[in-house]
Amino acid sequence: MACMVTDIGGIDDRSFNASAWKGLQEAKAASTKLAEPKNVSSKAEADYVPNLTQFAQQGCNFTLAVGGLMGDATKQVAAANADKQFAIVDASIPGATNVYPMQFDTAQAAFLAGYLSAGYSKSKKVATYGGLKIPPVTIFMDGFADGVAYWNQQKSDKVQVLGWDKAAQNGSFAESFTDQTKGKALSDGFVAQGADVIMPVAGGTGLGTAANAGSKYAVVWVDVDGCESAEQYCSSFLTTVVKNIPEAVKEAAVKGADSTSMLTGSYLGTLENNGVSIAPYHEFDSKVSAELKGEVDKLKADIISGAVKVTSPAQPK
């Protein structure tokens, strides 16, 4: 049986946790050795160890921890249940041979989204904010800011990024992955400063940004294509910085179910292996020029080839 413990964002965040759960459901459909998966949502960090322990004791032979914040708890519970297979999204736990790590170089895809946003912006101001100041969040913000900077370099332009200073590693955070009111307030502040594209990296908090967009600004969603996960706001989504969590989780869970030994190695999602990407433009397709689309495609190829380097202090090591 495959089981999943979510971070504090909950299973219905339309983003990170929801995409991991989709992966487990797809694994069940692909493997006759997996029973119906189970999940439990953590309400606070104090829930991580009890929730993981509960599943280990219930006979889950593949227990997935969703989120970098769960690293310490997963390490503790995995050590106490050395015969059980664990996996974690957005963290690596050195020495824990029964924990399979899945990480994503989202800076690469966010770089594309930053370049796209700078090219799309009419006000020459774009913005981003995070849920919490942790590496799986700031890696998006780093890539986005660098993509804008690359646009400015290539076009001799001066598009400004509000909400994140990569050099200082400091910016705007909601301190929540669930507070939509805070997401709206942060977005209102950016709009007041002139931003016409906003990228929330904040799970469900970002729904407050999406719901309030209208014609005032476009939204860059993250993790899972917003037009699929929050389709009611599709008209606001310029694109999404996608982490292919479902495919990574599905593959790990199926291998874990079919194996008589612990999973080895690790997974790193990149543009090259389609572990990260930007989603189709959907309702913005006619609003993004053919020239800009072509430049984004070329930039993707240049990042894959190494001609353009994407760096972030938060990149998986």
pLDDT at site 256: 81
Q: In percent, how much of the chain has pLDDT > 90?
A: 85
CATH class of the domain comprising 106-243+275-305:
alpha beta
Average pLDDT, stretch 218-236? Answer: 95
Parse the chain into domains and list their residue ranges.
Answer: 2-105+245-269, 106-243+275-305
Strands of the sheet containing 160-162, edge to edge, are: 160-162, 125-130, 197-201, 218-223, 237-243, 276-278
CA distance 283 to 208: 20
Q: How many CB atoms lie within 10 A of CB 302?
A: 14
Confidence (pTM): 0.92
pLDDT tens digits for range 27-55:
999 888 888 899 999 999 999 999 999 99
- Whether residue 289 is predicted with pLDDT greater than 80 in this model: the reply is yes
106-243+275-305 matches 2-105+245-269 in CATH topology: yes
Q: What is the CATH number of domain 2-105+245-269?
A: 3.40.50.2300
Paired strand residues for 157:
none
Reported as a pLDDT band with limits 50, 70 and 90, residue 209 is very high
